[in-house]
Amino acid sequence: MNSRRPEERGEVTTVRLDRFQDHLEFGNTLFALYILAFTRQYTWPIKNQMPAWTLAVLLAAVIWYCYVMLAARPSKRLPRVFWLLVALPLLFVFLLRVVEPDTSFDVLNYHIFQAERSLRGSLYAPGDFFPVVPFNPAPDTLTGIYRHLLGYRLGTAVNYLALVWTGSVLYRLLRVYFGSPLLRCAAVLFILLTEQILFQINNYMIDLLALPLLLEATRLAIETGGAVSEARPSGRATLATTIDTRSPSARILCIALLLGISAAFKLSHLAFGIPIIIVFLFNSFARLTSSERTVQAFRLLKILPVASLVFLAPLAPFAISSYKLTGSPVFPFYNGIFRSPYWPEGKLIDPRWGPHGLRETLLWPIMVFFKPERISELPVYSGRISIGFVLAAVCFVFVRGNLSVRQLSFITLLGGLLWSAGSGYSRYAIYLELTSGVILVWFTTYVWKQCARLPVGPKLLIQIPLWSALAAQTALALDYANRYEWSMRGTIFAHRANLLLDESKECFRDRSLIAYLSPEHRALLDDVDVWIETTIKTSALEAMLKPYTPVLGIRSPQFFATEQSRGKFDEALRANQGKRLFTLTNDGADLQDVQRSLAARGLVAGKTQNISIPYFSQSKKLDMLLVEVLPGSQTAAKGLPLPDRAFKAQLSVSDLPASIRAGQKYLVRVALKNESAVTWPGHQPAWLYQITVGDRWLNEKGATINELDGRVALDDDLTPGGVVVLSLQITAPQAAGNYILQFDAIQEGVAWFSEKGSAALNFRIKVD
């Protein structure tokens, strides 16, 4: 029984609310919706939207309250000059392109789809087959909330607000270097004005969202272990308010939550989380005596299970969902470990980007300036990370009087190397743009102070090259930001005034894409029961035009690499039997690709109709084709890939000797039987798609020596169960030894039949 009187309980509540208000700041306020994006995943099993969202909001409110109360109360509020010198210039950059709807490749390819699905429930609906690669949709849920609240154009404000929050963290991180709020704000603006950040300030890419989380975790880790000296306007230092390391629970829980959400947004953020945790652990013990370290170790071990749960909480719901769907909690990453049947084994990389080999990996943060064509689709780079990485190495080795700079340098160095080893792709290293900027700012102020007593001549000789380099890098970044961004939209200065006025009128009104369609084109969509995803940049349209419609993705061959994945697709197809299937594509050239993709899955294109989709703007119309998809016939078409179910063959070889002379040519007779239920086409108009029988030589361990040996084509159609005998000339390897001679059927330009589950025929041959 509560012995307190009502008025006492009221006073306690008032005190708690006052304390909560004292702890509340700009960044913490934004953090509420970040948390909501994850609590919504916990309520996915609830099919009714109202109770699901109500429970998600309540859970988010509780977690948010706990975080705000655990976070250290800011010693000072952000000054007015911060909003004028940081937030206002960023707002100007945001407004430069905001009136034109974002049509970035990744946004249309999967971000919008993930947002729409995750807002309504789980990422994959009943009847789906991998519409997109299932990455954690939490950041897209966050952008989707803003998009539904503010409309399509202004919903991108989520990235602008995340940058302002990032600036507020930088402002506190820089208090060690600048006592003057004006100089501190100028430094913050300099750090944020890098092209990799400005490329995303007004679109739905998600790489900026985790920056304030990673940076706040960095600040907490660096300030662990005691007070941090804070510069006064006079230049003297005072002690800043921090959490006492004798009671580190609040700090470690905050860091765990920040890093957990960052990792859930992108697993690549672990490359920065690891050095942040190392710095935190170092600072937790560095200033303690031997006996105090033992006590501290027990304290950390005591809180470790709770901190681990806090870290895993944002990751858990989608990881469990992914494991149930694919057999891997981090699908499609690390499939060599988890061996999901729905993705090929091996490292998930794009060979276009990043370093090649160990030497380039170690030097990649420096090399990116000289090889911008290998860091992303936008082949420009102003060099912030390259400069910062070199300075970080110098500061880590030579700077002794400033521990925070050495630790930030350590985070930059180790984080840079882990990023290089992981991908080396520019969008995954924006955090390093910030840490490099902080190191640049510190180095500049350090040089300025060291030169204070020098004569004017030597002072200018040292200062001018440094300031010129900073100015050149910033000017280059701003020039790139003016000419490039992920949607390649022009700025407001590149458009006519009438167009800008018309587009501006759509702000706050652009929430529904289907509202922009004409009545006749809207009526065409009434027939769509199931989407077949065949073309890039169409999943967003499918999700927004028919949000509750199942989607079967067939354009990614990785999802059809195994018999089990192909069987799962067939199950999904049967589950949608009797429904009308349609696909969206762009034009005639894409229609040919669509026909090839459909043929490989045993489907064909039917009736085609033109449909014009104004993408939240009457001046940005997407002229598409709405193609009906029908079941394929039992006879495979010429000039197209065979359907997966047709790759079933039986081969037999007669009169093959056990040994053969090196380089000898030998004619063998191969019997080919069609074991499928599909008639194979004979002679093709071109070698592409021709069905052949071929051989390849393997060494004793099964490694391929030569797979371009002999080929013989199937001239006539081969019906199910039919057999044809073909004469194939083989050529023995030039080197003597023991080999494996493998015979297999092939559809040229598509696959060897054994790659689709058919059995190849192997013989051990001795070459003399």
Digit-coded pLDDT (tens) for 398-441:
998 889 999 999 999 999 999 999 999 999 999 999 999 999 99
What mean pLDDT do residues 640-650 have? 95
Q: What is the mean pLDDT of the chain?
A: 91
Choose among 370, 365, 362: nearest CA to 390. Answer: 365
Q: Residue 150 burial by CB count (10 A; 0-12/13-18/19+): exposed, middle or buried?
A: middle
Q: Between helices 270-286 and 290-312, what is the axis angle to 10°?
A: 150
Residue owning tokens 């954690």: 136
Hunting for tokens 């108009």 — which residue is that?
685
* pLDDT over 80 (residue 245): no
* Mean pLDDT score, 673-683: 95
Spatial separation of the C-alpha atoms in residues 415 and 276, rounded to whole Å: 9
Which of the four pLDDT bands, split at 50, 70 and 90, describes residue 120? very high
Task: Name the band, by pLDDT with cuts 50, 70 and 90, for residue 1.
Answer: very low
DSSP 495-511: S-HHHHHHHHTTTTT--
Q: How confident is the model at residue 15 (pLDDT cuts 50, 70, 90)?
A: low
- Helix (H/G/I), strand (E/B), else coil: 688: coil
Residue 243 pLDDT exceeds 50: no
**What is the Cα–Cα distance from 53 to 60, expressed in whole angstroms?**
10
CB distance 139 to 106 below 8 Å = no
Q: Is the pLDDT of residue 71 over 70?
A: yes
**In DSSP terms, which residues pair with 583 in a beta bridge?**
627
Q: Residues 611-638, buried b or exposed e (16+ Cβ, 10 A)?
A: bebbbbbeeeebebbbbbbeebeeebee
Kindly tell me if the per-residue pLDDT of 105 is higher than 90.
yes
Q: Output the CA torsion 123→125→131→137 (10° steps).
A: 0
Token readout for 614 is 């104004």
Q: Which of 416, 459, 465, 455 is nearest to 439 (CA)?
A: 416
- CA dihedral of residues 510, 514, 515, 517 (deg, nearest 10): 120
pLDDT value, residue 5: 64
Reply yes or no on whether the pLDDT at 290 is more than 90: no
Instruction: Classify residue 139 by burial, with Cβ atoms within 10 Å: 0-12, 13-18, 19+.
Output: buried
Q: Which DSSP symbol is given to 679?
A: B
Give, to the nearest 10 degrees, the angle between helix 249-265 and helix 138-150. 80
Q: Which residues pair with 631 in a beta bridge?
A: 603
| Three-class HEC string of 152-192 | CCHHHHHHHHHHHHHHHHHHHHHHHCCCCHHHHHHHHHHHH
- Both tokens assigned to 287: 């200033």
Query: Cβ contacts of residue 494 below 8 Å, gap of 6+?
Result: none
Is residue 320 within 8 A of residue 331, CB to CB? The reply is no
Q: What per-residue confidence (pLDDT) applies to 363?
A: 96
Q: What's the confidence (pLDDT) of residue 238?
A: 42
211, 166 contact by CB (below 8 A)? yes
Peptide bond into 305 cis (omega under 30): no
Q: Which of 613, 610, 487 is nearest to 546 (CA)?
A: 613
Please state the rounded mean pLDDT for residues 709-737: 94
Separation CA 552–CA 564 (nearest Å): 16
For residue 630, list its beta bridge partners. Answer: 604
CA distances from 564 to 341, 534, 686, 757 (A): 6, 21, 32, 10
Give this prediction's pTM: 0.91
SS3 for 53-98 is HHHHHHHHHHHHHHHHHHCCCCCCCCCHHHHHHHHHHHHHHHHCCC
Helix (H) or strand (E) holding 546, with range, is none
Name 731's Cβ contacts closer than 8 Å, sequence gap at least 6: 663, 664, 665, 666, 709, 710
CA distances 730 to 82, 265, 352, 653, 662, Å, are 76, 53, 37, 12, 12
Q: Encode pLDDT of 133-176 as tens digits.
A: 999 999 999 999 999 999 999 999 999 999 999 999 999 999 88
pLDDT of residue 240: 42
611 strand-pairing partners: 624
Rounded mean pLDDT, 674-701: 94
List all residues 6 or more positions away from 69 whose beta carbon is below 8 Å from its beta carbon: 19, 20, 23
pLDDT at position 254: 95
Helices 403-422 and 430-450 cross at an angle (nearest 10°) of: 150
Reported as a pLDDT band with limits 50, 70 and 90, residue 239 is very low
* DSSP code per residue over 420-455: HHHT--GGGGHHHHHHHHHHHHHHHHHHHHHTTTS-
Rounded Cα distance between 275 and 506, Å, is: 45
The single-letter code of the amino acid at 447 is V
Distances in Å between the alpha carbon of 180 and those of 79, 229, 403? 11, 14, 22
Per-residue pLDDT at 348: 67
With pLDDT > 70 as the criterion, what percentage of the chain qualifies?
94
Residue 188 pLDDT greater than 50, yes or no:
yes
Per-residue pLDDT band for 9 (boundaries 50, 70, 90) equals: low
pLDDT score of 246: 38
Token pair of 746 as six digits: 């092939």
Please give the DSSP secondary-structure letter assigned to residue 241. Answer: P
The mean per-residue pLDDT over the stretch 64-85 comes to 89
Q: For the beta carbon of residue 574, count every other beta carbon within 10 angstroms.
A: 9
Which of 4-13, 96-105, 360-369, 748-757 bottoms out in mean pLDDT, i.e. has the lowest?
Answer: 4-13
What pLDDT is attached to residue 8? 56
Element (H, E) at 193: none
CA triple 254-257-261, angle to 5 deg: 145
Contact 368, 385 (CB under 8 A): yes
Residue 4 binned pLDDT confidence (cut-offs 50, 70, 90): low
Asked whether the predicted pLDDT for residue 520 surpasses 80, the reply is yes
> Strand, helix or coil at 204?
coil
Q: How large is the average pLDDT for residues 695-705?
A: 90
Which two tokens mark 413?
A: 């160095």
185-189, 497-501, 518-522, 536-540: which has the minimum mean pLDDT?
Answer: 497-501
Of the chain, the end-to-end C-alpha distance in Å amounts to 95
Distance CA 297, CA 25 (A): 32
pLDDT tens-digit map of 359-394: 999 999 999 999 999 999 999 999 999 999 999 999
Alpha-carbon distance of 368 to 386, in angstroms, equals 7
